[in-house]
Structure 1
Amino acid sequence: MNLVNALFGIVLCFPAVYGQVYTFGFCRDIPTVMPFQLELYLGTWYEYARFYLKELDGVTCARSTYSPNPDNTLQVVTEGIRKGRPVTLVGLGEVFDPINDPARGQLTYSRSTPVLPGGNYWVVKTDYNNYAVVYSCNQLGVFKVETAYILLRQPMSPSRRLLYGIYFYFLRFGINPWNFMRTDFRNCRRPVRYRY
């Protein structure tokens, strides 16, 4: 009976993940960037690739701008284009432990935004000037829900060496890097603010 209840609960949770990559298993505790310098991380990042997310399906020219709020949280504004129309998502970033692990936090969107309300946000690799790799894993019973991003400071292709290094990094922790989907930056025009 407990197994049936657990499976029923998991099935009910699937719509909440909005198409993120979910698989059987448990989240791993992946190390984050140490020491992490938030001031250097702030600014605009272009999305080179990401794991599939239903709410971002069809979005091209995606970029996110991170800026500090007076209450020590971060405002995260993600802009892109879907079917020729600008799309904007506004989120709130919070760091779990600013002293001991400032690269591990949570990104939350308002209830009116069609994305998972809150998810882990772990900066696992960055050089601050060129690239960053973000990973998220949330546990739903015996399933894990994963999201990952490869972010760049400029909307251009990174070197193969960098990409292979990122892919092998994920493989080391049992995460499938082939879940990455490349973000299209062809025919990008200047995004205009538009809210859902």
Structure 2
Amino acid sequence: MSPVYILLLLVPVSSAQTFHWGPCPTPEVQSNFTLQLYLGEWYEIAKLPAYFAIGECIQANYSMREDGTVRVLNSQVLNGKMWVVEGTAKVMEPKEPAKLGVQFTSFLPYSPYWVVSTDYTTYSVVYSCTDIFKRFHFNFAWIFSRSPTLPTVIVDYAKKLLIEEGIDISKMTHTDQNCIV
């Protein structure tokens, strides 16, 4: 398949997320990450645009499966209806447990889900990036909270972390968590 054809296929997807020239940044991730403490419900507070998350009241819930993988339930309210998608996450490299991979369809590879920082009880900062031939990349970043709101000082801290790691957050948007379904 020619690179031009691949680029043409990616145009619709790229319009709903952030595109940058060059390879992905490689931010530091949470040291001594403990997956068990990370499990549970997280509310999306802010994100870089993502074609798969265009609704409101976006949440993620993580729970362990018997096989050692993580069940991922992502939900959002879109056009007045609740939409839920189930996926699987797993630690990709045991020496770096904060570098997870997540997959929502079995025919696609796992996508990066790197926990840059978390205190497990209040906030989490997550980054994902996919290189295309090391020529350009698409990236995602999220700020999550254990509750529907997060103090501005923590949101500012999370944004500062991403910027310090070389991640452009100029297109980051706030997620409305005040929905009625």
Same fold (TM over 0.5): yes
Matched, 1:76 2:66: no
Stretches of structure 2 that go unaligned for 5 or more consecutive residues are none
In the alignment, which of 136, 147, 155 is matched to residue 128 of structure 2?
A: 136
Stretches of structure 1 that go unaligned for 5 or more consecutive residues are 190-196
Q: 1:192 — aligned with what?
A: none
Q: 2:23 — aligned with what?
A: 26
Aligned length: 179
Aligned positions of 1:43-192 closer than 5 A: 43-57=40-54, 59-98=55-94, 100-110=95-105, 118-141=110-133, 142-156=135-149, 158-189=150-181
Question: Which range moves more in the overlay, 146-155 or 170-179?
Answer: 170-179
Cα RMSD (Å) of the superposition?
A: 2.0
3-state SS in 1 of match to 2:98: strand
Asked if structure 1 preserves the Cα contact closer than 8 Å seen for 2:53 and 2:76, the reply is: no
- Take 1:187 and 1:126, find their aligned partners in 2: how far apart are those partners? 26
- Take 1:140 and 1:152, find their aligned partners in 2: how far apart are those partners? 31
Aligned sequence identity (%): 28
3-state SS in 2 of match to 1:169: helix
Matched, 1:36 2:36: no
1:32-60 CA distances to partner (integer Å, 9 max, x unpaired)? 11100111100000111111112222x11
- Relative distance call for 1:70 and 1:46 in structure 2 (3 A) is same
3-state SS in 2 of match to 1:179: coil
- Relative distance call for 1:12 and 1:187 in structure 2 (3 A) is closer
Paired residue type of 2:69: T
Asked if structure 1 preserves the Cα contact closer than 8 Å seen for 2:30 and 2:118, the reply is: yes
- Take 1:187 and 1:86, find their aligned partners in 2: how far apart are those partners? 10
Question: Which range moves more in the overlay, 37-46 or 170-179?
Answer: 170-179
TM-score by length of 2: 0.90
CA shift at 1:73, angstroms? 0.6
CA shift at 1:167, angstroms? 1.6
Asked if structure 1 preserves the Cα contact closer than 8 Å seen for 2:62 and 2:71, the reply is: yes
- Take 2:124 and 2:74, find their aligned partners in 1: how far apart are those partners? 16
